[in-house]
Chains A and B, each alone.
Chain A
Amino acid sequence: MNVKTSGNQTAVRRLMTEYKQLTAGGAPDGMFTAGPISESDFFTWEALICGPKDTPFEGGVFAAKLTFPSDYPLSPFKMKFEPPLFHPNVYPDGTVCISILHTPGDDPTMYELASERWSPVQCVEKVILSVISMLAEPNLESGANIDCCKLYRENKKEYERIVRQSIREQLGLH
Protein backbone atom coordinates (compact mmCIF):
# COMPACT_ATOMS: atom_id res chain seq x y z
CA MET A 1 0.00 0.00 0.00
CA ASN A 2 3.02 2.22 0.20
CA VAL A 3 2.70 2.87 -3.50
CA LYS A 4 -0.24 5.12 -2.83
CA THR A 5 1.23 7.06 0.03
CA SER A 6 4.48 7.75 -1.76
CA GLY A 7 2.57 9.03 -4.80
CA ASN A 8 1.81 12.49 -3.59
CA GLN A 9 3.36 13.93 -0.48
CA THR A 10 1.23 17.05 -0.62
CA ALA A 11 -1.96 15.00 -0.43
CA VAL A 12 -0.63 12.82 2.39
CA ARG A 13 0.58 15.82 4.40
CA ARG A 14 -2.71 17.58 3.98
CA LEU A 15 -4.73 14.49 4.95
CA MET A 16 -2.58 13.94 8.03
CA THR A 17 -3.08 17.56 9.08
CA GLU A 18 -6.83 17.31 8.61
CA TYR A 19 -6.94 14.03 10.53
CA LYS A 20 -4.88 15.47 13.36
CA GLN A 21 -7.11 18.53 13.56
CA LEU A 22 -10.26 16.41 13.58
CA THR A 23 -9.01 14.14 16.35
CA ALA A 24 -7.59 16.97 18.45
CA GLY A 25 -10.46 19.42 18.10
CA GLY A 26 -13.23 16.90 17.64
CA ALA A 27 -16.23 17.60 15.45
CA PRO A 28 -18.65 20.34 16.50
CA ASP A 29 -21.23 18.85 18.92
CA GLY A 30 -19.66 15.42 18.32
CA MET A 31 -21.79 15.10 15.21
CA PHE A 32 -19.32 12.95 13.33
CA THR A 33 -15.96 11.24 13.38
CA ALA A 34 -13.71 10.62 10.40
CA GLY A 35 -10.33 9.06 9.79
CA PRO A 36 -8.33 6.65 7.65
CA ILE A 37 -9.59 3.06 7.75
CA SER A 38 -6.04 1.74 7.90
CA GLU A 39 -2.68 3.35 8.59
CA SER A 40 -1.29 1.89 5.40
CA ASP A 41 -3.68 3.87 3.21
CA PHE A 42 -4.31 7.51 3.98
CA PHE A 43 -6.48 7.88 0.88
CA THR A 44 -9.49 5.89 2.14
CA TRP A 45 -11.36 7.14 5.17
CA GLU A 46 -14.46 6.15 7.02
CA ALA A 47 -16.82 8.72 8.48
CA LEU A 48 -19.52 8.02 11.05
CA ILE A 49 -22.24 10.61 11.02
CA CYS A 50 -24.99 11.05 13.60
CA GLY A 51 -28.42 11.80 12.20
CA PRO A 52 -29.23 15.44 12.97
CA LYS A 53 -31.80 16.19 15.68
CA ASP A 54 -35.40 17.00 14.70
CA THR A 55 -35.04 15.19 11.40
CA PRO A 56 -36.18 11.67 10.49
CA PHE A 57 -32.48 10.73 10.59
CA GLU A 58 -32.25 11.43 14.34
CA GLY A 59 -31.02 8.44 16.30
CA GLY A 60 -29.23 6.88 13.34
CA VAL A 61 -25.49 6.56 12.81
CA PHE A 62 -24.45 6.46 9.19
CA ALA A 63 -21.19 5.13 7.84
CA ALA A 64 -19.66 6.66 4.73
CA LYS A 65 -16.50 5.85 2.81
CA LEU A 66 -14.39 8.81 1.69
CA THR A 67 -12.08 8.17 -1.26
CA PHE A 68 -9.39 10.76 -1.86
CA PRO A 69 -7.70 11.36 -5.25
CA SER A 70 -3.90 11.47 -5.44
CA ASP A 71 -4.04 15.19 -6.24
CA TYR A 72 -6.15 16.01 -3.19
CA PRO A 73 -6.91 18.81 -2.23
CA LEU A 74 -6.81 20.14 -5.80
CA SER A 75 -9.55 17.66 -6.68
CA PRO A 76 -12.36 16.76 -4.28
CA PHE A 77 -12.84 13.40 -2.60
CA LYS A 78 -15.80 11.11 -3.17
CA MET A 79 -18.24 10.23 -0.44
CA LYS A 80 -20.39 7.12 -0.42
CA PHE A 81 -22.77 5.97 2.29
CA GLU A 82 -22.31 2.28 2.98
CA PRO A 83 -25.00 0.99 3.19
CA PRO A 84 -26.75 3.52 0.91
CA LEU A 85 -28.97 6.11 2.51
CA PHE A 86 -32.50 6.92 1.34
CA HIS A 87 -32.23 10.63 0.62
CA PRO A 88 -33.01 12.88 -2.38
CA ASN A 89 -29.33 13.85 -2.77
CA VAL A 90 -27.83 10.39 -2.38
CA TYR A 91 -27.64 8.12 -5.42
CA PRO A 92 -29.17 4.67 -4.97
CA ASP A 93 -25.61 3.26 -4.77
CA GLY A 94 -24.88 5.49 -1.77
CA THR A 95 -22.74 8.14 -3.52
CA VAL A 96 -23.41 11.61 -2.14
CA CYS A 97 -24.29 14.27 -4.69
CA ILE A 98 -23.58 17.71 -3.24
CA SER A 99 -22.20 20.80 -4.91
CA ILE A 100 -19.31 21.19 -2.43
CA LEU A 101 -17.87 17.90 -3.75
CA HIS A 102 -17.81 19.22 -7.31
CA THR A 103 -15.36 21.70 -8.77
CA PRO A 104 -16.87 24.78 -10.43
CA GLY A 105 -18.06 23.86 -13.89
CA ASP A 106 -18.49 20.18 -13.03
CA ASP A 107 -22.26 20.12 -12.97
CA PRO A 108 -23.86 16.70 -12.87
CA THR A 109 -27.18 18.11 -11.71
CA MET A 110 -26.92 21.78 -12.72
CA TYR A 111 -26.24 23.26 -9.32
CA GLU A 112 -27.01 26.90 -8.85
CA LEU A 113 -24.15 29.29 -9.34
CA ALA A 114 -24.26 30.42 -5.73
CA SER A 115 -23.89 26.88 -4.38
CA GLU A 116 -20.69 26.11 -2.56
CA ARG A 117 -18.01 24.44 -4.69
CA TRP A 118 -14.92 22.36 -4.19
CA SER A 119 -11.55 24.09 -4.10
CA PRO A 120 -8.53 23.53 -1.89
CA VAL A 121 -10.09 25.87 0.69
CA GLN A 122 -12.63 23.16 1.51
CA CYS A 123 -11.79 20.23 3.73
CA VAL A 124 -13.29 17.02 5.14
CA GLU A 125 -14.84 18.80 8.09
CA LYS A 126 -16.59 21.44 5.98
CA VAL A 127 -17.90 18.85 3.55
CA ILE A 128 -19.30 16.59 6.26
CA LEU A 129 -20.96 19.56 7.96
CA SER A 130 -22.56 20.42 4.61
CA VAL A 131 -23.69 16.82 4.23
CA ILE A 132 -25.24 16.93 7.70
CA SER A 133 -27.23 20.04 6.82
CA MET A 134 -28.16 18.37 3.55
CA LEU A 135 -29.62 15.46 5.54
CA ALA A 136 -31.82 17.94 7.37
CA GLU A 137 -32.68 19.95 4.30
CA PRO A 138 -32.55 18.07 0.99
CA ASN A 139 -31.88 20.07 -2.14
CA LEU A 140 -34.65 19.03 -4.50
CA GLU A 141 -33.32 21.22 -7.31
CA SER A 142 -30.41 18.86 -7.80
CA GLY A 143 -31.74 15.46 -6.92
CA ALA A 144 -29.75 12.24 -7.23
CA ASN A 145 -32.39 9.70 -6.27
CA ILE A 146 -35.34 10.50 -8.52
CA ASP A 147 -37.81 8.21 -6.75
CA CYS A 148 -36.87 9.65 -3.40
CA CYS A 149 -37.23 13.22 -4.69
CA LYS A 150 -40.68 12.41 -6.01
CA LEU A 151 -41.74 10.82 -2.75
CA TYR A 152 -40.38 13.73 -0.74
CA ARG A 153 -42.36 16.19 -2.85
CA GLU A 154 -45.60 14.24 -3.00
CA ASN A 155 -45.72 12.43 0.31
CA LYS A 156 -43.20 13.75 2.80
CA LYS A 157 -44.76 11.75 5.67
CA GLU A 158 -44.17 8.47 3.82
CA TYR A 159 -40.59 9.54 3.04
CA GLU A 160 -39.98 10.21 6.71
CA ARG A 161 -41.57 6.90 7.67
CA ILE A 162 -39.26 5.00 5.29
CA VAL A 163 -36.21 6.81 6.67
CA ARG A 164 -37.18 6.09 10.30
CA GLN A 165 -37.98 2.50 9.43
CA SER A 166 -34.55 2.02 7.84
CA ILE A 167 -32.87 3.44 10.93
CA ARG A 168 -34.77 1.04 13.19
CA GLU A 169 -33.77 -1.83 10.92
CA GLN A 170 -30.19 -0.69 11.00
CA LEU A 171 -30.26 -0.67 14.78
CA GLY A 172 -31.85 -4.13 14.80
CA LEU A 173 -35.23 -2.89 16.06
CA HIS A 174 -37.92 -4.23 13.78
Chain B
Amino acid sequence: MTSEESEGLESRTESIANEVDETTAAEAKPQSPGSQLEEVTVCTALSGVALADLSHSQLIDLNQNALNDLVPNRPLIEGVEPISALRAEYESGSPRFRTQIDGLTDAGFRLLRRARGDGDCFYRAVGFAFVEQIFGDQEQDMAVASALSLLESSLEWLDAVGFQRLVYEDFYDTLCGLIQNIATPEMNGSVLTEATLLDQFQHPEASNSIVAFLRLLTSSHLRLNEEEYSPFLFHPELGEPMNVRDFCENFVEGSGKEADHVQITALCRILRLNVKVAYLDGRSDTVDFVDFQNDSTSKRFITLLYRPGHYDILLTDDGSPSAAALV
Protein backbone atom coordinates (compact mmCIF):
# COMPACT_ATOMS: atom_id res chain seq x y z
CA MET B 1 0.00 0.00 0.00
CA THR B 2 1.40 3.38 -0.95
CA SER B 3 1.45 6.13 1.62
CA GLU B 4 -1.10 8.01 -0.44
CA GLU B 5 -3.45 5.07 -0.31
CA SER B 6 -3.05 4.56 3.38
CA GLU B 7 -3.65 8.25 3.94
CA GLY B 8 -6.82 8.03 1.88
CA LEU B 9 -7.93 5.04 3.84
CA GLU B 10 -7.26 6.78 7.11
CA SER B 11 -9.27 9.83 6.21
CA ARG B 12 -12.09 7.59 5.03
CA THR B 13 -12.06 5.68 8.30
CA GLU B 14 -12.04 8.98 10.10
CA SER B 15 -14.98 10.29 8.16
CA ILE B 16 -16.89 7.07 8.89
CA ALA B 17 -16.05 7.45 12.56
CA ASN B 18 -17.36 11.00 12.44
CA GLU B 19 -20.53 9.87 10.78
CA VAL B 20 -21.07 7.28 13.46
CA ASP B 21 -20.46 9.93 16.11
CA GLU B 22 -22.94 12.26 14.56
CA THR B 23 -25.56 9.60 14.22
CA THR B 24 -25.13 8.66 17.83
CA ALA B 25 -25.33 12.26 18.89
CA ALA B 26 -28.32 13.23 16.86
CA GLU B 27 -30.00 9.83 17.04
CA ALA B 28 -30.19 9.25 13.34
CA LYS B 29 -33.14 11.08 12.01
CA PRO B 30 -34.38 8.86 9.20
CA GLN B 31 -33.49 10.48 5.93
CA SER B 32 -35.78 10.89 3.00
CA PRO B 33 -35.98 7.79 0.82
CA GLY B 34 -34.46 9.70 -2.07
CA SER B 35 -31.20 10.26 -0.27
CA GLN B 36 -31.05 6.63 0.82
CA LEU B 37 -31.39 5.48 -2.74
CA GLU B 38 -28.58 7.81 -3.76
CA GLU B 39 -26.40 6.30 -1.10
CA VAL B 40 -27.15 2.80 -2.37
CA THR B 41 -26.21 3.90 -5.86
CA VAL B 42 -22.87 5.13 -4.61
CA CYS B 43 -22.18 1.95 -2.66
CA THR B 44 -22.90 -0.40 -5.54
CA ALA B 45 -20.98 1.77 -7.96
CA LEU B 46 -17.97 1.49 -5.64
CA SER B 47 -18.16 -2.26 -5.38
CA GLY B 48 -18.38 -2.56 -9.15
CA VAL B 49 -21.92 -3.98 -9.38
CA ALA B 50 -24.03 -2.37 -12.06
CA LEU B 51 -27.29 -1.23 -10.53
CA ALA B 52 -29.06 -1.75 -13.84
CA ASP B 53 -28.29 -5.48 -13.68
CA LEU B 54 -30.29 -5.94 -10.50
CA SER B 55 -33.91 -7.00 -10.54
CA HIS B 56 -36.57 -4.85 -8.97
CA SER B 57 -36.83 -7.00 -5.86
CA GLN B 58 -33.05 -7.04 -5.45
CA LEU B 59 -33.12 -3.27 -5.58
CA ILE B 60 -35.77 -3.15 -2.89
CA ASP B 61 -33.72 -5.49 -0.70
CA LEU B 62 -30.64 -3.39 -1.27
CA ASN B 63 -32.48 -0.24 -0.35
CA GLN B 64 -33.94 -1.90 2.73
CA ASN B 65 -30.52 -3.10 3.86
CA ALA B 66 -29.07 0.35 3.40
CA LEU B 67 -31.97 1.75 5.37
CA ASN B 68 -31.38 -0.69 8.21
CA ASP B 69 -27.70 0.19 8.24
CA LEU B 70 -28.48 3.86 8.64
CA VAL B 71 -30.18 3.26 11.94
CA PRO B 72 -27.51 2.44 14.47
CA ASN B 73 -27.91 -0.91 16.08
CA ARG B 74 -29.05 0.40 19.43
CA PRO B 75 -31.76 -1.13 21.57
CA LEU B 76 -35.29 -0.10 20.59
CA ILE B 77 -35.51 1.50 23.99
CA GLU B 78 -32.66 1.79 26.48
CA GLY B 79 -32.01 1.63 30.18
CA VAL B 80 -31.85 4.84 32.17
CA GLU B 81 -28.69 6.93 31.91
CA PRO B 82 -27.64 10.26 33.41
CA ILE B 83 -28.43 13.25 31.27
CA SER B 84 -24.78 14.24 31.58
CA ALA B 85 -24.09 11.58 28.96
CA LEU B 86 -26.25 13.53 26.54
CA ARG B 87 -24.52 16.77 27.48
CA ALA B 88 -21.16 15.17 26.74
CA GLU B 89 -22.31 14.45 23.19
CA TYR B 90 -22.79 18.16 22.61
CA GLU B 91 -19.39 19.04 24.09
CA SER B 92 -17.97 19.96 20.71
CA GLY B 93 -21.27 21.22 19.35
CA SER B 94 -23.51 24.19 19.95
CA PRO B 95 -23.11 25.70 23.45
CA ARG B 96 -26.84 26.51 23.46
CA PHE B 97 -27.68 22.81 23.59
CA ARG B 98 -25.44 22.47 26.64
CA THR B 99 -27.08 25.47 28.27
CA GLN B 100 -30.49 23.98 27.60
CA ILE B 101 -29.44 20.61 28.99
CA ASP B 102 -28.11 22.34 32.10
CA GLY B 103 -31.52 24.00 32.42
CA LEU B 104 -33.20 20.60 32.32
CA THR B 105 -30.81 19.29 34.94
CA ASP B 106 -31.61 22.25 37.21
CA ALA B 107 -35.32 21.58 36.72
CA GLY B 108 -34.76 18.11 38.15
CA PHE B 109 -34.53 16.05 34.98
CA ARG B 110 -31.27 14.27 35.58
CA LEU B 111 -32.02 10.99 33.86
CA LEU B 112 -32.74 10.00 30.30
CA ARG B 113 -34.15 6.92 28.62
CA ARG B 114 -33.44 6.79 24.93
CA ALA B 115 -35.59 5.36 22.16
CA ARG B 116 -34.09 4.24 18.88
CA GLY B 117 -34.28 6.85 16.12
CA ASP B 118 -36.28 4.75 13.67
CA GLY B 119 -39.29 7.00 13.18
CA ASP B 120 -41.27 5.03 15.76
CA CYS B 121 -39.60 6.68 18.76
CA PHE B 122 -42.56 8.82 19.83
CA TYR B 123 -45.01 5.91 19.88
CA ARG B 124 -42.50 3.59 21.49
CA ALA B 125 -41.58 6.11 24.17
CA VAL B 126 -45.21 6.86 24.98
CA GLY B 127 -46.10 3.17 24.98
CA PHE B 128 -43.27 2.43 27.37
CA ALA B 129 -44.09 5.34 29.66
CA PHE B 130 -47.80 4.45 29.61
CA VAL B 131 -47.07 0.98 30.97
CA GLU B 132 -44.25 2.15 33.23
CA GLN B 133 -46.38 4.68 35.05
CA ILE B 134 -48.61 1.85 36.24
CA PHE B 135 -45.68 0.62 38.35
CA GLY B 136 -45.49 4.01 40.01
CA ASP B 137 -49.15 4.01 40.93
CA GLN B 138 -49.95 3.47 44.58
CA GLU B 139 -52.95 1.40 43.72
CA GLN B 140 -51.36 -0.81 41.13
CA ASP B 141 -54.22 -3.27 40.60
CA MET B 142 -56.59 -0.38 40.08
CA ALA B 143 -54.22 1.23 37.59
CA VAL B 144 -53.93 -2.06 35.68
CA ALA B 145 -57.69 -2.42 35.52
CA SER B 146 -58.27 1.12 34.35
CA ALA B 147 -55.55 0.91 31.67
CA LEU B 148 -57.10 -2.32 30.38
CA SER B 149 -60.60 -0.91 30.36
CA LEU B 150 -59.37 2.20 28.55
CA LEU B 151 -57.79 0.06 25.86
CA GLU B 152 -60.80 -2.19 25.59
CA SER B 153 -63.13 0.73 25.10
CA SER B 154 -60.85 2.06 22.37
CA LEU B 155 -61.60 -0.96 20.20
CA GLU B 156 -64.95 0.45 19.25
CA TRP B 157 -63.19 3.42 17.62
CA LEU B 158 -61.07 1.05 15.59
CA ASP B 159 -64.23 -0.75 14.49
CA ALA B 160 -65.98 2.56 13.83
CA VAL B 161 -63.38 3.66 11.28
CA GLY B 162 -63.56 0.27 9.59
CA PHE B 163 -60.33 -1.42 10.64
CA GLN B 164 -60.84 -5.17 10.47
CA ARG B 165 -60.48 -7.11 13.67
CA LEU B 166 -57.66 -9.17 12.19
CA VAL B 167 -55.75 -5.96 11.61
CA TYR B 168 -55.54 -4.92 15.24
CA GLU B 169 -56.30 -7.90 17.49
CA ASP B 170 -52.76 -9.32 17.71
CA PHE B 171 -51.28 -5.90 18.43
CA TYR B 172 -53.98 -5.23 21.01
CA ASP B 173 -53.40 -8.59 22.69
CA THR B 174 -49.68 -7.87 22.97
CA LEU B 175 -50.18 -4.56 24.77
CA CYS B 176 -52.99 -5.82 27.00
CA GLY B 177 -51.12 -9.03 27.80
CA LEU B 178 -48.19 -6.98 29.00
CA ILE B 179 -50.31 -4.77 31.25
CA GLN B 180 -52.33 -7.72 32.52
CA ASN B 181 -49.10 -9.42 33.46
CA ILE B 182 -48.30 -6.68 36.00
CA ALA B 183 -51.15 -7.92 38.19
CA THR B 184 -51.68 -11.49 36.99
CA PRO B 185 -48.80 -13.97 36.91
CA GLU B 186 -48.29 -16.02 33.77
CA MET B 187 -48.58 -19.82 33.80
CA ASN B 188 -44.97 -20.11 34.93
CA GLY B 189 -45.60 -17.68 37.76
CA SER B 190 -43.71 -14.73 36.30
CA VAL B 191 -45.08 -11.23 36.53
CA LEU B 192 -44.06 -8.15 34.61
CA THR B 193 -41.54 -6.00 36.47
CA GLU B 194 -39.90 -2.76 35.45
CA ALA B 195 -36.88 -4.78 34.34
CA THR B 196 -38.85 -7.25 32.23
CA LEU B 197 -40.86 -4.37 30.80
CA LEU B 198 -37.62 -3.06 29.36
CA ASP B 199 -36.83 -6.53 27.96
CA GLN B 200 -40.24 -6.68 26.31
CA PHE B 201 -39.85 -3.27 24.75
CA GLN B 202 -36.41 -4.18 23.45
CA HIS B 203 -37.84 -7.25 21.76
CA PRO B 204 -38.78 -6.16 18.23
CA GLU B 205 -41.87 -8.35 17.93
CA ALA B 206 -43.62 -7.16 21.08
CA SER B 207 -42.28 -3.63 20.86
CA ASN B 208 -43.28 -3.08 17.23
CA SER B 209 -46.69 -4.63 17.81
CA ILE B 210 -47.35 -2.07 20.52
CA VAL B 211 -46.15 0.73 18.26
CA ALA B 212 -48.44 -0.53 15.50
CA PHE B 213 -51.42 -0.61 17.88
CA LEU B 214 -50.76 2.95 19.10
CA ARG B 215 -50.53 4.10 15.49
CA LEU B 216 -53.92 2.54 14.70
CA LEU B 217 -55.42 4.17 17.79
CA THR B 218 -54.01 7.54 16.75
CA SER B 219 -55.36 7.12 13.24
CA SER B 220 -58.83 6.14 14.42
CA HIS B 221 -58.99 9.16 16.75
CA LEU B 222 -57.98 11.54 13.95
CA ARG B 223 -60.45 9.97 11.53
CA LEU B 224 -63.32 10.11 14.02
CA ASN B 225 -62.59 13.73 14.93
CA GLU B 226 -61.91 14.94 11.45
CA GLU B 227 -63.61 18.31 11.87
CA GLU B 228 -61.44 19.19 14.81
CA TYR B 229 -58.15 18.11 13.29
CA SER B 230 -58.54 18.90 9.61
CA PRO B 231 -57.31 22.52 9.87
CA PHE B 232 -54.02 21.13 11.23
CA LEU B 233 -53.36 18.36 8.76
CA PHE B 234 -50.49 19.32 6.50
CA HIS B 235 -48.00 17.34 4.49
CA PRO B 236 -44.83 17.43 6.64
CA GLU B 237 -42.53 18.14 3.69
CA LEU B 238 -44.71 19.93 1.16
CA GLY B 239 -46.71 21.93 3.70
CA GLU B 240 -49.90 21.41 1.71
CA PRO B 241 -53.21 20.71 3.44
CA MET B 242 -54.27 17.06 3.44
CA ASN B 243 -57.50 15.24 4.04
CA VAL B 244 -57.62 13.04 7.12
CA ARG B 245 -57.57 9.76 5.23
CA ASP B 246 -54.49 10.59 3.18
CA PHE B 247 -52.79 11.99 6.26
CA CYS B 248 -53.45 8.85 8.31
CA GLU B 249 -52.50 6.46 5.53
CA ASN B 250 -49.28 8.28 4.75
CA PHE B 251 -48.12 9.65 8.08
CA VAL B 252 -49.77 7.71 10.89
CA GLU B 253 -50.55 4.08 10.11
CA GLY B 254 -47.34 2.97 8.44
CA SER B 255 -44.41 2.06 10.67
CA GLY B 256 -41.41 4.38 10.72
CA LYS B 257 -43.39 7.56 10.12
CA GLU B 258 -42.48 10.26 12.63
CA ALA B 259 -45.08 11.86 14.86
CA ASP B 260 -45.73 15.57 14.97
CA HIS B 261 -47.97 17.82 17.05
CA VAL B 262 -51.21 16.39 15.62
CA GLN B 263 -50.29 12.77 16.32
CA ILE B 264 -49.02 13.66 19.80
CA THR B 265 -52.23 15.48 20.65
CA ALA B 266 -54.33 12.58 19.43
CA LEU B 267 -52.46 9.76 21.18
CA CYS B 268 -52.16 11.60 24.49
CA ARG B 269 -55.91 12.25 24.44
CA ILE B 270 -56.75 8.64 23.74
CA LEU B 271 -54.50 7.35 26.49
CA ARG B 272 -55.61 10.20 28.77
CA LEU B 273 -52.01 11.06 29.46
CA ASN B 274 -50.52 14.25 30.79
CA VAL B 275 -47.43 14.73 28.69
CA LYS B 276 -44.84 17.46 28.73
CA VAL B 277 -42.56 17.75 25.75
CA ALA B 278 -39.27 19.53 26.38
CA TYR B 279 -38.00 21.10 23.17
CA LEU B 280 -34.25 20.85 23.03
CA ASP B 281 -33.62 22.71 19.80
CA GLY B 282 -30.61 24.92 20.45
CA ARG B 283 -32.60 28.01 19.49
CA SER B 284 -32.59 29.73 22.85
CA ASP B 285 -30.93 29.38 26.22
CA THR B 286 -33.97 27.92 27.91
CA VAL B 287 -35.99 24.82 27.13
CA ASP B 288 -39.62 25.33 26.19
CA PHE B 289 -42.12 22.84 27.54
CA VAL B 290 -45.33 22.13 25.68
CA ASP B 291 -48.07 20.54 27.78
CA PHE B 292 -50.59 18.02 26.59
CA GLN B 293 -52.89 17.76 29.56
CA ASN B 294 -55.66 15.19 29.40
CA ASP B 295 -56.19 13.97 32.93
CA SER B 296 -57.05 16.75 35.34
CA THR B 297 -57.47 14.28 38.17
CA SER B 298 -53.81 13.37 38.09
CA LYS B 299 -50.78 15.51 38.81
CA ARG B 300 -48.48 13.07 37.10
CA PHE B 301 -46.73 13.80 33.84
CA ILE B 302 -44.77 11.83 31.35
CA THR B 303 -41.94 13.99 30.08
CA LEU B 304 -40.49 13.56 26.64
CA LEU B 305 -37.32 15.14 25.40
CA TYR B 306 -37.66 16.36 21.83
CA ARG B 307 -34.70 17.01 19.60
CA PRO B 308 -35.43 17.81 15.96
CA GLY B 309 -36.86 14.59 14.55
CA HIS B 310 -36.53 12.55 17.69
CA TYR B 311 -38.12 11.76 21.08
CA ASP B 312 -36.61 10.25 24.24
CA ILE B 313 -38.00 9.97 27.77
CA LEU B 314 -36.87 12.33 30.53
CA LEU B 315 -36.90 11.21 34.14
CA THR B 316 -36.33 12.90 37.46
CA ASP B 317 -33.70 11.98 40.03
CA ASP B 318 -35.59 9.11 41.58
CA GLY B 319 -36.28 7.62 38.18
CA SER B 320 -39.88 8.76 38.32
CA PRO B 321 -41.30 10.01 35.05
CA SER B 322 -43.38 12.67 36.75
CA ALA B 323 -42.02 16.02 37.66
CA ALA B 324 -45.15 18.05 37.91
CA ALA B 325 -43.90 19.98 40.88
CA LEU B 326 -40.65 20.89 39.24
CA VAL B 327 -41.72 22.55 36.04
Contacts and interface: CB of A to CB of B under 8 A. Distances in A.
A106 interface: yes
Pick the most buried of A71, A104, A118, A144: most chain B CB atoms within 10 A of its CB. A104
A117 B170 contact: no
Nearest to A125: B164
Q: Interface residues of B toward A: which range? A: 35 or more
Contacts of A144: 56
Contacts, number: 87
Contact of A10 (B167, B205, B257): B205
A99 to B, nearest CB: 10
Interface in A46-79: 71, 73-75, 78
B209 A10 contact: yes
A10 B166 CA distance: 11
A74 B64 CA distance: 14
Contacts of A83: none
Given A93-B56, A104-B249, A119-B254, A18 B166 contact: yes
Interface string A114-141: 1011111101000000000000000000
Contacts of A123: 164, 166-167
B102 interface: no
A107 B254 CA distance: 14
Say whether chain B's binding surface is mostly helix, strand, loop, or mixed. helix
Given A10-B209, A105-B33, A119-B254, A113 B167 contact: no
B60 interface: yes
A163 interface: no
Pick the most buried of A13, A74, A78, A80: most chain B CB atoms within 10 A of its CB. A74
Contacts of A120: 167-168, 171, 212, 215-216, 253, 255
Contact of B249 (A17, A71, A116): A116
A32 interface: no
A21 interface: yes
B33 A106 contact: yes
A13 B167 CA distance: 11
Given A8-B205, A14-B170, A114 B56 contact: no
Interface in B157-196: 163-164, 166-171, 174
B246 interface: yes
B251 interface: yes
A71 B204 contact: yes
A55 to B, nearest CB: 24
Interface string B201-224: 000110011001001100100000
A95 B254 contact: no
Contacts of B242: 113
A103 B55 contact: no
B257 A104 contact: yes
B2 interface: no
Contacts of B55: 91, 93, 95
A93 B58 CA distance: 12
Contacts of B235: 113
B166 A114 contact: no
Given A103-B254, A104-B250, A121-B167, A78 B57 contact: yes
Which 5 pairs, one residue from A and one from B, show the smallest C-beta to C-beta distance? A119-B253, A104-B250, A119-B254, A17-B166, A74-B255
5 contacts: A93-B55, A95-B57, A103-B256, A105-B32, A116-B249
Given A95-B56, A120-B216, 16 more contacts: A10-B170, A10-B174, A13-B170, A17-B166, A74-B208, A74-B212, A74-B255, A104-B249, A104-B251, A104-B254, A106-B33, A117-B250, A119-B253, A120-B167, A120-B255, A123-B167
